[in-house]
Chains A and B, each alone.
Chain A
Amino acid sequence: MANGLRATSAGEIGAWTMFMYRFSKSLKSPTPYLMLVGFALFFGAWFLLSEVFRVWRFASLPGPRQVLIEWFNPNPVYGMSLYTPDYYMHVWMSLRRVLYAFVISTGLGVPFGLFLGWSKNFREFTFPVFETLRPIPVLAWVPLAIVMFKGDETPVIFLTALASFYATALNTMLGVQSIDPSYPRAAACLGASRWQIFRHIIIPGALPFIFTGLQISVGVAWFSLVAAEMVSGEYGLGYLINSSYVNVQYPVIIIGMMSVGIVGYASSALVRLAGDYLMQWRVRELALGGGR
């Protein structure tokens, strides 16, 4: 097979194989070095501006050295580091909320988006309401969320899932609309019923867009989480950032931010991995150096 990919006897390439292939390919190319250079420039500039030259307002910021020292401190000054169990509690609570919110927003958003794209009537029914509610920011929903939902986690998860739902549904809808009309027509010629077309053509056809939407929605979920965790009041990376702001513990703010960045990146990568697994055909097409 092309480019050193090994297929199993059934012709399938496992997701892990694909991941390793991509990883090894990326190591061979000059790009990972550029990525490291990018990070180095960022940290270097931050370090120079805030700790070495102490330029103007950057002097008030904690520098990367200060942040990293605190983060890796077995006995941290502000009580939050990789050595404190509370830190992992915060990470886990946020991760758990994002997970629930993501599952809910995907479970609702994908079917909703599919119907929006597939049925003109449904779209005319629901799209105007959908679009009117969309620009309302998460923070505006906070009071309503508190009143609407019992329990503590539910309002937070609702708020996190909200913007994710929109990203997923919209991208799914666009995915359906982007399907070349020849495909459903061909299926109709071949005797497929409307439902069969939906299942065999629309859903797989929209998958690339759906997965783009899912990657966006995971990012958006993390985004909304910080706002949503104002409601939670206890635990979570957003809560950590918020409370260290009022306690003027700047290094902890940065630790919180960087933690969100890292975990968020990892969750996006997982979604991509899942996409590759479900869309073998695309992956192989791309591996051969081109789409249609």
Chain B
Amino acid sequence: MSKPFRSYAAAAVVSMALAALAPLAFAKDYGKPGTPIKLTIGYQPYYTQAWSAVIQKEMELWKKYLPAGSTVEWEIGLQGAIVGNAMLADKNDIGYMGDMPTIVAISKQNVRELRMVAVLGLANDQCSVFLSRNEAPDFKSPEEAVKWWQGKRVAVAKGSCTDRSGQEMMRKFGIKPEQYLNQNIEVQTSNFKAGRLDGSIMWEPTASKIIMEGIAKRIGDTKVIGKMDGGFMAMQYELIKQRPDVVKGWLEAELDANLFWAKPENYMKVVEMAHKNTQGFSKEVLWMSMAGKYPKVMGGGDVRNIMYYGINDDVRNMIKEQVEFLHGIKVLPMAELPKELVDSSWTDEILKRRGLNVPLAKIESQDPSKYPGGKITLPASWRE
């Protein structure tokens, strides 16, 4: 072997050996039950359905249930897929995500073991609000309004619940847009403003922001596909294995957050908390995203969110259908998820102990005039 070759080979062997000797235990050590723990939570203040995390954060509800001295770090994800990828990279211990990113993340067992442990909520218009440009004609019903998308330029953020709703809608109505683009919601906003987009699907609160600021108009929600969309919570399997006390504690705090949110007198307080954790959103918009009542012709309904918290058969069926669908569009390699990936045992136990049922509560939509913080100016696209 020539001299330089020898030294390269030696360097390669040494670096590989060093890499191999690096902490071989790629399982994180969460400490013994009862000891203080440091948790990193991936949460989405820019996703209304996941605001239970914001409530936990602002009211520090977890302090009551986790061992004294525990700390919590909150990491913002701008999109569910980002939180999902962070969990797969073991950077987040607990994650708040929409349905599609959760399902995709927990399915990747060969990357990391994750489990879905709770439901944030199910709704028709938290994750998927259908929008059309202002110049689109006004239709009598959301079904007709959505059919207008035939041959048009439509955008969604791929990998999110809006993608799933979009694809299901196209399949159900046999609609083929001229373009089905993958753009994040900031780019979609710019495109609406520049008049270069005909339709899109967005999640709250950005959807309400776009509507209330007159950038686009609301035309429907997942009622057109007859399904609901959901938000879920996932956790690292190692955390569940090593620290059942922490899992229980966090989920108890989560239940408290939900119960707090369910009371109408607390709506404004939640809005304040969300306002503190976001930028560029007015309180009016945040309130509208959470509880605002949109007219039926715009695809609005009577219920903005159903807080399930626990996982019942409805939820399991929903997940099953979604997995089949995602397999069909080649996002998931499998047609069915192993049962153990969806773990309802924790929430079942807590609900039983506290004498509560699934679903916990509903957030009913409120007329904009009921906004406690002043008067909400309705956009030009508003019609009853």
Contact = CB atoms under 8 A, between A and B. Distances in A.
B partners with A: yes
Interface of A: 37, 41, 45, 48-49, 53, 55-60, 77-79, 142-143, 146-147, 150, 152, 230-234, 239, 242-243, 245-250
A230 B112 contact: no
A246 B158 contact: yes
Nearest to A242: B182
B306 interface: no
Given A147-B190, A234-B181, A242-B182, A248 B104 contact: yes
17 contacts: A41-B8, A49-B16, A56-B26, A60-B112, A79-B330, A146-B187, A146-B190, A147-B193, A233-B182, A233-B187, A243-B182, A245-B85, A246-B81, A246-B101, A246-B157, A248-B85, A250-B111
A233 B184 CA distance: 9
B263 interface: no
A245 B89 contact: no
Contact of A247 (B104, B112, B184): B104
Contacts of B190: 143, 146-147
Contact of A56 (B19, B111, B184, B196): B19
Contacts of B356: none
B79 interface: yes
Contact of A231 (B79, B101, B187): B187
A247 B22 contact: no
A57 B180 CA distance: 35
Most buried by A among B24, B89, B108, B196: B196
A60 B191 CA distance: 36
B106 to A, nearest CB: 10
B88 A60 contact: yes
B182 A55 contact: no
A57 B26 contact: yes
A147 B194 contact: yes
Contacts of A79: 330
Given A233-B182, A245-B85, A247-B159, 11 more contacts: A41-B8, A45-B12, A49-B19, A78-B330, A79-B330, A146-B194, A231-B183, A233-B187, A243-B158, A247-B81, A248-B159
B117 interface: no
A248 B81 contact: yes
B182 to A, nearest CB: 5
B181 A233 contact: yes
Nearest to A84: B330
A260 to B, nearest CB: 18
B108 A248 contact: yes
Contact of A246 (B79, B108, B180): B79
Given A233-B181, A234-B182, A246 B159 contact: yes
B231 interface: no
Nearest to B154: A233
Contact of B16 (A48, A77, A78): A48
Given A60-B88, A245-B81, A248-B85, A239 B182 contact: yes
B174 interface: no
B88 A234 contact: no
Contacts of A57: 26, 89
Contacts of B330: 77-79
B105 interface: yes
B170 to A, nearest CB: 15
A79 B333 CA distance: 10
Nearest to A34: B5
Q: 4 smallest A-B Cβ distances: which pairs?
A: A233-B181, A246-B159, A79-B330, A246-B81
A152 B88 CA distance: 34
B22 A55 contact: yes
B155 interface: yes
A216 B121 CA distance: 51
Nearest to B104: A248
B180 A234 contact: yes
Contacts of A234: 179-182
Contacts of A59: 26
B6 to A, nearest CB: 13
A152 B160 CA distance: 23
Given A56-B23, A247-B159, A250-B111, A78 B104 contact: no
B59 interface: no
Contacts of B81: 245-248
Contacts of B157: 246
Contact of B179 (A48, A142, A233): A233
A78 B181 contact: no
A147 to B, nearest CB: 5
B84 A248 contact: yes
Nearest to A247: B159
B155 A233 contact: yes
Contacts of A60: 88-89, 111-112
A140 to B, nearest CB: 13
A243 B155 CA distance: 13
Chain B CB count within 10 A is highest, among A57, A243, A247, A249, for: A247
A14 to B, nearest CB: 36
B136 interface: no
Nearest to B84: A248
A55 B26 CA distance: 8
Contacts of B184: 230
Q: Which interface residue of A58, A59, A142, A233 has the most chain B CB atoms within 10 A?
A: A233
B20 to A, nearest CB: 5
B331 interface: yes
